[in-house]
Amino acid sequence: MLSHSQSRAHPSARPSTDSSAAPNTHPINHHVGKTLIRFALPSIASVWVFSLYGIIDGIFVGQVVGAEALAAVNLSLPFVGILFAVSIIVSIGAATAAGVQRGAGQYEKGNRIFSTAVYSLFGFGLVACSLSFIFLEDIAWLLGARGAMIDHVSEYLCVLLFFNTAYLVSYALEVFCKADGFPGRELLAICMAAMTNILLDYLFIIEWDMGLTGAALATGIAQSVSLSFLLLHFLGFMRSRGTLRLIAVKPSWLQLKGFVRIGLPDGITEMSMGLILLAFNNAIAIYMGVPALAAFSVIGYISIMMLQTFLGLTQGMQPLVSFLNGQSKHSARATQIALQQLLRLTLFGALGLGLFAYGLIYFFGASVAGLFLDDAHLILLSHQLMTLFCLSFILMGLNVVIAGFFTALEQPMFAGGISILRGGVLVGILLMIAPSLWGTESIWFIPLISELLVLGVSLLLLKRFKLFQQLKPCQY
């Protein structure tokens, strides 16, 4: 049995200095399934807890403040998702690059990559926050808010933007904590933040009647708690320490460009749900009005949680793929076999999660809608709509995993093609033509049709990709 320190070190532990040691003796090469579970389960649990930030806000706002306020939070989600996507782009790109370097034993390069990513996101967060305050009402209008709804959206975003930088940097630290071999510590940080969010939502919304301002404030403070805890890890204040450290480094634009090139597909995947919700929000406002928008708010929360679930599964896989890719120059054949096993198991996991989630929605969706809404008609409408819209979950995970697999192998062209198609392109086109051809009700089948078309492209790209010949780790 492995000791505590040994188990924590895997798979990012410093390799043996004995040059005769065969790289393919690493446990990941012989226990792919167990290693994937060890990384994927905490990752999925992390994103589930992370998703509670928005869901808990939605429940408190919908039940206490009202349906219009819930609709305002729903309208804000695409903007928050787009900002979050920037953190994903940089974090996943940098973590992939750092994982390859660490797999090759280049730990100092890994620290420089990590530090560059964190400092860059800190700077971006400050700039984005400042600019967003200046154009806040314009942003609310672009998100689909009209009339009094502009004030509600502005109220929510105004407070949330104060914590924008902590939000972006905290996610980067979560990704790198997992890459550093501490997925459980990442989960603990997010659990601490979720508990903080629940307690503060109760205090600010129910006890102090602070409405949307209280909901946003609770979320922002919770994100700051996660950031503070993870900083203790990377500054070396925890008893069990990894090898990643924040060091003094001047961010390199060339290096940052490399992160963006690798991480862009995952960022587009994250933005995809925000863009899809934005498109549907505007379509619903045109064809159905505010009551339907409130009913659709529940679907928005469920959709974001499912996307985050598939991203969590994928991000549990990605550090292992990057590490194996870094080892490929030593044993290409063994790496190919391990990667094929890893992809196959992750795809089965994604399909199982999608089927299970849709089953829960079909049978218990009304109960879920009842957590957010107190109007019987809106609850019934929400359940009817989610049984159609959420059919896409069955295929969504397969596309997310395949795109993430290509990202971890530093194949951004393949990953980007899948992500761009998923990122609202097909949905936007179908939303423009479907209502006029097949009626308004047809829009609820658009996500399923889009995912099915994208899956065809994903499988073709997998077939074309020659895994054995193309394993060529990039240099940073």
pLDDT, tens digit, 9 for 90 and up, residues 366-416 = 999 998 888 898 899 999 999 999 999 999 999 999 998 988 887 878 888
d(CA 309, CA 363): 20
Specify the higher pLDDT residue, 16 or 300. 300
Length of the chain, in residues: 476
Sequence-separated (6 or more) residues with CB below 8 Å from residue 191: 49
pTM for this entry: 0.70
8 Å CB contact between 174 and 228:
no
Any domain includes 472: no
Provide the percentage of residues in the chain whose pLDDT is more than 70. 88
pLDDT band at 301; cut points 50, 70, 90? confident
Specify the higher pLDDT residue, 115 or 20. 115
Any domain includes 474: no
Sequence-separated (6 or more) residues with CB below 8 Å from residue 460: none
For residue 107, CA distances in Å to 153, 175, 229, 232 come to 45, 17, 23, 20
Domain with 278, as residue range(s), is 35-464
CB atoms near residue 146 (< 10 Å): 11
pLDDT exceeds cutoff 90 at 321: no
260 alpha carbon, distance to own chain's centre: 16
Sequence-separated (6 or more) residues with CB below 8 Å from residue 342: 32, 36, 317, 320, 321, 324
Cis peptide preceding 15, ω within 30 of 0: no
Q: What is the pLDDT of residue 13?
A: 38
CB atoms near residue 239 (< 10 Å): 5
Residue range 241-263: average pLDDT?
80
Q: 376: part of which helix (H) or strand (E)?
A: helix 376-389
Amino acid at 220: G
Q: What is the pLDDT of residue 240?
A: 72
Any domain includes 17: no
Any domain includes 20: no
Q: What is the pLDDT of residue 328?
A: 54
Any domain includes 196: yes
Q: What is the pLDDT of residue 204?
A: 93
For residue 148, CA distances in Å to 78, 279, 290, 294, 448 come to 19, 20, 12, 15, 34
Q: What is the pLDDT of residue 332?
A: 64
Lowest mean pLDDT among 4-13, 225-234, 452-461: 4-13
Q: How many domains does the chain have?
A: 1
Amino acid at 474: C
Any domain includes 100: yes
d(CA 457, CA 343): 17
CB atoms near residue 402 (< 10 Å): 26
User: Crossing angle of helices 290-327/376-389, nearest 10°?
Assistant: 40
Any domain includes 11: no
Any domain includes 16: no
d(CA 218, CA 198): 8
